[in-house]
Chain A
Amino acid sequence: MRFAFPVLLLVFAAIATLAAGVRSVPVPEIWHALTAFDQTNPLHIVVRDIRLPRLIAGLAAGASLGMAGSIMQSLTRNPLADPGLMGVNAGAAFTIVLGAFLLGRADGGFIAALSFPGAALASLGVFAIGGGVRGETGPVRLTLAGIALNALLMSLVSAIVLTRTEALEVFRFWAAGSLAQANVRPLLEMSTIAALGAGSALLLAPRLEALALGSGLAKGLGTRPGRIQLGALAVVTMLTGAAVSIAGPIAFLGLMVPPLARRISGHTLRFEIMISALFGATILLLADTAGRLLIAPAEIRVGIMTALIGAPVFIWIARRLRPGALT
């Protein structure tokens, strides 16, 4: 069964997330904390109030980024595309620093509330610049529009943080994603959005497979390329917007997970999306756990950990590509 190995890995990562840390909790005690909570037991409080939200945040953000990466790579026909290409991270960064600049606030709830609208507006902008409004969009146009809008937003972010120290503090704190603020982030709302995105992704997958053959053949197969692209970008926005609201920007995860998933799923997009969800959550949880253990009692933020793992994977994928594979 192709799912057995990814599911087992995820179960292992989930248990490690609950068990490992400055205070390690034995597995039977985790079970008691979840089933027979004792509020006088400090280990139970660690599991229930700190590590469980962190686990849920990691599952939702990791699975979302894995799935979004898989859809982005299919849509842009680029095995190195990252869901961040749609501008969600830059969009969220922009609204957060703008909020801090105008209102001088920087608490977790405030950041979470500004992330999703910024992410959604930015990806709408990429779609519009990429010709989506006139139905002229294609992989190359979308990629270029994404790069252009990302660059614009990030330079605006730089301009703001250079003029206002409060904004710089907020940005510095947010720019490397982390699961540490899980309990002040809107986990329920964002997990719901991510779940809706996941369901739509699975429904959209067969049409995306047709679109990957080129828009002429896709039309000939009875699909509507414009609608598929719009649907796919809506799904990517839901998934990555949810992830960035929960955890901030997580570098490389959406890029490295789908090629690993394809080694198990092959080119059946629906399987690829499901395996990407499992791998995305697993890698994010393991990276987060490792980040908490390596320099304990301090911790390395998970966005830095995924970049450390992701950069070599990126180079590995790039080296395996044949010349012309991206055209």
Chain B
Amino acid sequence: MTQIVLKTEGLTLGYGDRAVIDDLSMAFPDRQVTSILGPNGCGKSTLLRALARLLRPSRGTVTLDGEDVFSLDTRALARRLAILPQAPNAPDGITVMELIKRGRTPWRGLLAAWSAQDLEKCTAALRHVGLGDQMDRPLNTLSGGQRQRAWIALVLAQDTPYLLLDEPTTWLDLRHQLEVLTLLRERNRRDGTTVITVLHDLNLAARYSDHLVLLGPAGLVATGAPDDVLSEDNLRHAFGLEAMVTPDPVTGTPMIVPR
């Protein structure tokens, strides 16, 4: 029986008058990898941003351990939950280590002296993403895949039991997408970190996730294990896509082949 800590109740999200997510009540299983899937514009990123208190709901709540994330002290919450938004901004010429250290922001005191633990978490995060020997290089001299791994190291260094990532594989080629998803799952299996990502690639999501949330134009279509969620019916509802679902010859997880 998996425990539920992070959930939404009657969540309504929108920009201006337009509700992107309407009256959504659902739960995210603890210590699992969850992927949020759905067509463009269905509110995947919007939902993720609300989970991380970046977007205030027009109605309803997001609760972590029974407490509304908007009523929690934001710094205290930042020690439990990290989010990597899409397209963050890096100062021109910043080095990898200088960037990663900013992930320690919620743990630093008023005078913000560096503790041995801060530096240890940063180097551990860099080693985990395979950039242990690149820490003094300027970020903008790295390849696209390395750069994305550096950003992931920043939220890993934040050292939180909940890790939210908005499309962490966008712009990456297939090999680098696999690399990123592998390292997120490693983190989950090793430290029990709850990982929630927004993903576009259904087959990769099925391979790397324990739990899927499928959104469609009219809201939640299905949620549960990949085998249950990725059915031909659900895909038609969510994407308006006629597809065949067959076991992935390598992993046995559902694989989507459009007709």
Stretch at the interface among B86-94, B167-175, B210-218, B226-234: B86-94
The residues in B between 68 and 103 inclusive whose CB is less than 8 angstroms from any CB of A are 74-79, 81-85, 87-95, 98, 102-103
Stretch at the interface among B24-32, B47-55, B190-198: B47-55
Say yes or no: A216 contacts B54, CB within 8 Å: yes
Say yes or no: A267 contacts B98, CB within 8 Å: yes
Say yes or no: A221 contacts B92, CB within 8 Å: no
- A124 to chain B: closest CB distance in Å? 26
The residues of B that contact A209 with a CB separation of less than 8 Å are 102, 105
Q: Is A301 an interface position by the 8 A CB rule?
A: no
Q: Is A105 an interface position by the 8 A CB rule?
A: no
Say yes or no: A224 contacts B74, CB within 8 Å: yes
The residues of B that contact A220 with a CB separation of less than 8 Å are 52, 54, 78, 81-85, 155
- A43 to chain B: closest CB distance in Å? 45
The residues of A that contact B83 with a CB separation of less than 8 Å are 216-217, 220
A321-B105 CB under 8 A given contacts A219-B74, A220-B83, A266-B98: no
- B125 to chain A: closest CB distance in Å? 14
Other-chain contact of A214, B76, B88, B98, B105 (Cβ < 8 Å): B88
Stretch at the interface among B11-19, B106-114, B245-253: B106-114
Q: Is B158 an interface position by the 8 A CB rule?
A: yes
Say yes or no: A267 contacts B78, CB within 8 Å: no
- Distance, CA A221 to CA B82, complexed state (A): 7
The residues of A that contact B74 with a CB separation of less than 8 Å are 219, 222-224
A214-B75 CB under 8 A given contacts A221-B106, A266-B95, A267-B98: no
Say yes or no: B88 contacts A262, CB within 8 Å: no
Residue of B nearest to A79 (CB): B92
Q: Is A27 an interface position by the 8 A CB rule?
A: no
The residues of B that contact A268 with a CB separation of less than 8 Å are 98
For this complex, into which size category does the number of interface residues on chain A fall? 20 to 34
The residues of A that contact B105 with a CB separation of less than 8 Å are 206-207, 209-210, 221-223
The residues of A that contact B102 with a CB separation of less than 8 Å are 209-210, 213, 221
- In the complex, how many residue pairs between chain A and chain B have their CB atoms under 8 Å apart? 81
The residues of B that contact A203 with a CB separation of less than 8 Å are 110-111
Say yes or no: A213 contacts B90, CB within 8 Å: yes
For this complex, into which size category does the number of interface residues on chain B fall? 35 or more
Say yes or no: B158 contacts A221, CB within 8 Å: yes
Q: Is A175 an interface position by the 8 A CB rule?
A: no
- B163 to chain A: closest CB distance in Å? 11
The residues of A that contact B98 with a CB separation of less than 8 Å are 266-268
Say yes or no: A222 contacts B106, CB within 8 Å: yes
Say yes or no: A206 contacts B95, CB within 8 Å: no
The residues of B that contact A52 with a CB separation of less than 8 Å are none
- Distance, CA A210 to CA B83, complexed state (A): 13
The residues of A that contact B155 with a CB separation of less than 8 Å are 220
The residues of B that contact A212 with a CB separation of less than 8 Å are 89, 91
- Distance, CA A68 to CA B89, complexed state (A): 22
- Distance, CA A210 to CA B102, complexed state (A): 6
Q: Is A325 an interface position by the 8 A CB rule?
A: yes
Could you mark each residue 143-179 of chain B with 1 if its beta carbon is under 8 Å from any beta carbon of chain A, else 0? 0000000000001001000000000000000000000
Q: Is A74 an interface position by the 8 A CB rule?
A: yes
Q: Is A185 an interface position by the 8 A CB rule?
A: no
Say yes or no: B77 contacts A222, CB within 8 Å: yes
Say yes or no: A222 contacts B79, CB within 8 Å: yes
- A137 to chain B: closest CB distance in Å? 15
| Residues in B lying within 8 Å of A, measured CB to CB | 49, 52-54, 74-79, 81-85, 87-95, 98, 102-103, 105-106, 108, 110-112, 140, 155, 158
25 contacts between A and B (CB under 8 A): A74-B91, A205-B112, A207-B105, A209-B102, A209-B105, A212-B89, A212-B91, A213-B90, A213-B102, A217-B88, A219-B52, A219-B54, A220-B83, A220-B84, A221-B102, A221-B105, A222-B78, A222-B79, A222-B105, A222-B106, A223-B74, A262-B93, A266-B95, A268-B98, A322-B140
A214-B85, A268-B98 are known; give 16 further A-B pairs, CB within 8 A.
A205-B112, A206-B112, A213-B102, A214-B88, A216-B49, A216-B83, A219-B53, A219-B74, A220-B78, A220-B83, A221-B82, A222-B79, A223-B75, A262-B93, A267-B94, A325-B92
